[in-house]
Amino acid sequence: MKLLKHKSLIAILAAYFSYLSYTIIFRPLRIAVAFTAIDDGLYYPKIALNFVKFAKFTFDGITITNGFHPLWQIMLIPFAYLFKDNLAFLKFCYFFMVLINIVSIILFYKILKDNKFTSLGIFLFFLVLILNFRGFSLFHSFIESHMTLLAYAVLLYLMHLWGNKIYMSSKISFIFGIAMGLAFLTRIDTFLFPIVYGIYGIYFAIKHKSYLKKVTKSLIFSAIGTALFVIPYLLINYLYFGKIITVSAFLKKGNTFLSSIKIFYSFFFNYYITRVKYVLGLNNLQALLLLIIIFISALLFLFYLKKYRKKSFKLENYMIMFLIFCAVHFLFLLFVTPSELVSSTWYRVPEDITIAFLIGYLFSGIKMNKIFYNLTLTFVVLLFLAQFGLYHLYIKKKEMVFYRYEMADFIRENIPAEDRTLMYDPGLISYFSDRYFVARNGCIGDFEMAKLIKNRKLTELVEKYNIKYLILDVPPDILEKLKKYEVFETKKYTFMYYFSEGKKKLVLYRINPENIKEIFNLRYGTEL
């Protein structure tokens, strides 16, 4: 009988497991990875397995790196000792991610249910957040996103459970501080959350002056709880690297307001239009018009829902605080890394939660008779099921992954284990080839390597780290120019890198400090 009270949760979990079965459980591992994995996500299991070999955090087998978000990385290491085989360990990572996502689903369900969301609103929340191709693949991508989702689920649940007690009780504030500290370890940009929490606490104290002493004491205790995890992490970074920031943060640069807006605008249209074109086979104008129509239709529909809502919704303090945090988080990303804000979905987890919550909230309060409500719910379920019909089209478009498997197989069979290869995004090929790679984006090495890459010192990079090979994606018209350095080229083409260049092959080149500049000049017309 108790289970019947949670029919919506059972339905959500059933939908989640149907997605799992269709895309991961009953698919060959390589197909599952092609569907879900983000290339950067494969850094985590690779570093964990390398930790077993070298007893240090290293991706390339040479440098010690802090270019990752620590909690997910640390959690994987004990299991890397149990699953030393690459493929077995990858399967375990899937299992681990599924367990974490189930906990997040249950916590979010509890929050929605207690806030009187209808079954339709609950299903829409999860449809927007995780039960879609983008969301599902994001939270099963091996990158830290599922940990970030869990961190926000825990924080929101604790705020929902305790309400204003997070500012009124020293004990509760200390526990909440620990939760914020752990959230910081799941993803470093959550450092903004404790800051917003503290500022909102000061506002709360000013508004309720009789609670000033309690709030002040609670904020101190929450700061202590947060510091238990943040301070050791920052100290370790400083002692080992001489900086408190990560190597990936070191490579990012801030922008002025106008340049951030310009980059965001330009990247937004270029990124989404090219992907709509690619999947649906449209031209630029058709893709742009389709996106505009979808956007305007969505706004009109949401306005319609707001107009016909049957009840108002009281925003609790914790909801207001989370909305403020999301706004601050968005602006922070806009100034620091506007292009990543558009293209890297794992940066936008709190914003996705907010959007899902708002849509679920709007649909939970509109006036509907029983027949119309059931029809709407049926339509939403059919919308979810329709995605399964697009799965094979989506996989067919993944040449970007399948030609990487082709390259990984060649390297594993033909390149000596001690040789290192330079590549921009080497996560997947490095993992499936079981060889060592130097990441040309610099994000997963040490600061010395990052400086060489940042300053475009390719010759010094190749010489210092004894790099023997280079992988580039190369258009057909440039292949012949670089033929004398070529070791292997894939049979498959891809359209997924630099869309304006058209189809390309992935090519392995033999390099040394003398020829690396020439190769880059011929390929890009520049050194790097």
Mean pLDDT of the region 75-90: 96
- Per cent of the chain over pLDDT 90 is 63
Distance of CA 477 to the CA centre of its chain: 35
Asked whether residue 343 falls in the same domain as residue 410, the answer is no
Residue 425 in any domain: the answer is yes
Distance of CA 312 to the CA centre of its chain: 34
| Consecutive H or E run containing 489 | strand 486-489
Q: For residue 195, give its domain range.
A: 3-241
Asked whether residue 273 falls in the same domain as residue 198, the answer is no
CB contact at 8 A, 523 and 482 = yes
Asked whether residue 211 falls in the same domain as residue 271, the answer is no
Asked whether residue 355 falls in the same domain as residue 412, the answer is no
Residue 173 in any domain: the answer is yes
Band (498; pLDDT cuts 50, 70, 90): very low
d(CA 302, CA 450): 46
Residue 295: pLDDT above 80?
A: no
Q: Tell me, yes or no, if the pTM score tops 0.85.
A: yes
CB contact at 8 A, 116 and 364 = yes
CB contact at 8 A, 182 and 232 = no
Q: Across the chain, what does the average pLDDT equal? A: 88
Residue 142 in any domain: the answer is yes
Asked whether residue 199 falls in the same domain as residue 314, the answer is no
The pairing of beta strand 486-489 with beta strand 505-510: antiparallel
Residue 389 in any domain: the answer is no
Mean pLDDT of the region 286-301: 74
| Last-in-domain residue among 197, 212, 241 | 241
Q: 116-120, 325-329, 343-347, 394-398: which has the minimum mean pLDDT?
A: 394-398
Residue 386 in any domain: the answer is no
CB contact at 8 A, 462 and 516 = yes
Asked whether residue 81 falls in the same domain as residue 132, the answer is yes
Residue 141: phi and psi, rounded to 5, are -100, 5
Asked whether residue 214 falls in the same domain as residue 261, the answer is no
Asked whether residue 126 falls in the same domain as residue 160, the answer is yes
| Consecutive H or E run containing 505 | strand 505-510
Q: 158-172, 265-279, 343-357: which has the minimum mean pLDDT?
A: 265-279
Asked whether residue 231 falls in the same domain as residue 181, the answer is yes
What is the structure's pLDDT at 302? 67
304 versus 138: the higher-pLDDT residue is: 138
Asked whether residue 39 falls in the same domain as residue 136, the answer is yes
At residue 161, the 3 state secondary structure works out as: helix
Asked whether residue 25 falls in the same domain as residue 86, the answer is yes
Asked whether residue 230 falls in the same domain as residue 262, the answer is no
205 versus 312: the higher-pLDDT residue is: 205
What total of structural domains would you count in the chain? 3
Task: For residue 441, give the DSSP letter.
Answer: T
Residue 518 in any domain: the answer is yes
For the beta carbon of residue 466, count every other beta carbon within 10 angstroms.
12
Mean pLDDT of the region 447-466: 93
